[in-house]
Amino acid sequence: MQKESKIYKGMTVAVVGLGITGQAAVHYCLECGAQVIVSDSRPRARFQEEMAAFLQKTGVEWEAGGHTFEFLNKADCVIVSPGIPESHEAIIRLKAAGIPVVGELAVAAPHLNMPVVAVTGTNGKTTVTSLIGEIVKEDGRSVFVGGNIGTPVFEFLRKKDKADVMVLEVSSFQLMAAGDFAPDVGVLLNITPDHIDRHGSLSEYAAAKMRLFCHQKSAHTAVMCSDDPECMARVGQLPSQCVTFGNVPGSTARIEGQVVRSMVAGHEVVYDLTGTAFIGRIGASNAAAAILACQALGIAPDVIMAALKKFQPGPHRIALVGELHGVRFINDSKGTNTGAVIAALQQLDGKALLIAGGRDKGEDYRLLREQVQEKARTVIVIGEAAAKISEALQGCTELRSAETLDEAVRLGYSLAEPGDAVLLSPACSSFDMFTSYAHRGEMFAAAVHKLIAEDSAGDGGGR
């Protein structure tokens, strides 16, 4: 355990970023007897308005409008939210001054006395994390599922809850400040370009993902994708036992169509995914990763299979919203990088009217060219990255633009043919036009439902 990650009575802790995790961190540190100060990037007036009740209740000293070394230098320890980059001037100066800068996982690590499964990767994290949680429940064990999705780990620590197993989704940002955090089972699903604006290069992004394993011991398990060359190039860095999933012969969990063949204690177990939610190559890959993680926890194959049959993925990931005159509307708002968009297009039958765009994260949209040329009838660009996406996709297919998501939905439907799908898969973050990817997905669904309602009322449905 890193001594500087421990929160104790009488120390001063600075919490940088007062989002959901930051608020939970403040409550946790106050309950540990620490004095807490808070730094937030929101403009002062907006911060006061939005956080008035929280500030009154906690009585913390605060600054807003940015993070300053002069304010944060008063702390014995600084807890950073995942959105705060290591390259921030104040963070660099704090580290140079010898003040520990840690994240939620670093603080939580010494308190986790149950088996911990942590899932990372560019795409599929939420589905696989949720699936593992459901399999553990099916096994009759209590489970906490959280981290980058749902409930912050700080809330678990505050409530002093008991759990037989903890399952966490962890991002590259969280891993950058994870301290000694070492999951019993670490799962790396894939590595494709994402958050390059923050990490600077694919190599640095991959290095951040690999931090999931750096404090594991030989008795721990690393689950890696054998189909992903970026993952396989880094297997030699692992200090733990490695098991693999994919189509490659020799994989611990070998995918053959809709069947996963997995080795358990020297014997092959066959998981037939027919009739489950795990259709196609991506679905089978997600299922195989969860199977290996749960086998590492000692869960029996029949229990795993029972949970696979029951599981339904969450919203905003290749979710059918509705259908109108043979045209499907699919919400993949969680597809915030090029790898996710490619995966969504690969899973579609028929042509797509692809709605893409939002706030750029440093993506190379040229990576979409092959799949767009093969699967997209038209690409409709929206948001701040519209021009950059259009430039990258010139010559691949028809390119159109829309000012709003509602306009994009209507334009897509007007250009579609029966059997096509209007697909929202943005390859960008949502923060130029929406508060979150979930908000963007909800607005897409609302636009679709409005279009269908107008058609039912005889208003033409936009065609």
* Binding-site positions for ATP: 121-127
| Residues paired with residue 64 on neighbouring β-strands, in sequence order | 40
d(CA 146, CA 129): 9
- Binding-site members are 121-127
**For residue 202, how far is the Cα from the chain centroid?**
17
Distance of CA 253 to the CA centre of its chain: 23
**Residues linked to residue 380 through DSSP beta bridges, in sequence order:** 355, 400
Residue 359 identity (one-letter amino acid): R
Please give the span between the terminal C-alpha atoms of the chain, in angstroms, as a whole number: 63
With helix as H, strand as E and coil as C, how does the chain read? CCHHHCCCCCCEEEEECCCHHHHHHHHHHHHCCCEEEEEECCCHHHHHHHHHHHHHHHCCEEEECCCCHHHHCCCCEEEECCCCCCCCHHHHHHHHCCCCEECHHHHHHHHCCCCEEEEECCCCHHHHHHHHHHHHHHCCCCEEEEECCCECHHHHHHHCCCCCEEEEECCHHHHCCCCCCCCCEEEECCCCCCCHHHHCCHHHHHHHHHCCCCCCCCCCEEEEECCCHHHHCCHHHCCCEEEEEECCCCCCEEEECCEEEEEECCEEEEEECCCCCCCHHHHHHHHHHHHHHHHHCCCCHHHHHHHHHHCCCCCCCCEEEEEECCEEEEECCCCCCHHHHHHHHHHCCCCEEEEEECECCCCCHHHHHHHHHHHEEEEEEECCCHHHHHHHCCCCCEEEECCCHHHHHHHHHHHCCCCCEEEECCCCECCCCCCCHHHHHHHHHHHHHHHHHHHHCCCCCCC
Query: What is the strand order of the sheet 352-357 is part of?
Result: 319-324, 327-331, 421-424, 352-357, 376-382, 398-401
Q: Assign residue 380 a region (left: φ > 0; alpha: ψ between -120 and 50; beta: otherwise).
A: beta
